[in-house]
Homo-oligomer: A and B are copies of this chain.
Amino acid sequence: METRIDRIKKQLHAASYKLTPQREATVRILLNHEEDHLSAEDVYLLVKDIAPEIGLATVYRTLELLTELKIVDKINFGDGVSRYDLRQEGAAHFHHHLVCIECGAVDEIQEDLLEDVEAVVEKRWNFQIKDHRLTFHGICWRCHDRSSQDPSQ
């Protein structure tokens, strides 16, 4: 049976790149940490466990390559660090994020939600949308529950 790794290998080959052991190790880490929004440094430290000889620059290069091929999404939450998410297979767009300004947690919204808005934008601004990035900042349900239980807040 064809695995996700196999399909990524094909995508790389189609663009005449190889799935080297370092690249495969990096992809495996991303597969094991979906929804975790890892930074390059995070990925590097995790990859070192399964491929200790890898260099940080290689991780950066691999993440950049995967971003170009739209296998991963490079996101930025405003702290000077880029974060990397595997894009859902077949998804044409970035997914959305909920960033909690209390605890810093980042949750994901996989549903599109923007179809209607995009139709308006394409028509009214005559802009042909290829992708989008949408992040909400606010209070997550966990913090909300905590503060409603704790009268000191």
A: residues with CB less than 8 A from B are 74, 76, 78, 98, 101, 107, 109, 113-114, 116-118, 120-121, 125-141, 144
The residue of chain B having its C-beta at the shortest distance from the C-beta of A143 within the complex is B128
B144 pairs with A126, CB closer than 8 A: yes
**Most chain-B Cβ atoms within 10 A of its Cβ — which of A78, A113, A114, A138?**
A138
B138 pairs with A135, CB closer than 8 A: no
Copy tally for this chain in the complex stands at 2
A125 pairs with B109, CB closer than 8 A: yes
- Given A128-B139, A131-B136, A132-B137: 6 more A-B contacts, CB < 8 Å: A74-B78, A114-B117, A127-B138, A127-B139, A132-B136, A134-B134
Q: How far is the CA of A114 from the CA of B116 in the complex (A)?
A: 10
The residue of chain B having its C-beta at the shortest distance from the C-beta of A140 within the complex is B127
Q: How far is the CA of A76 from the CA of B76 in the complex (A)?
A: 8
A129 pairs with B138, CB closer than 8 A: yes
Residues of B within 8 A of A101 (CB): 130
4 A-B pairs closest in CB distance: A126-B141, A128-B139, A130-B138, A129-B138
CB distance from A79 to the nearest CB of B (A): 10
Q: How far is the CA of A98 from the CA of B144 in the complex (A)?
A: 33
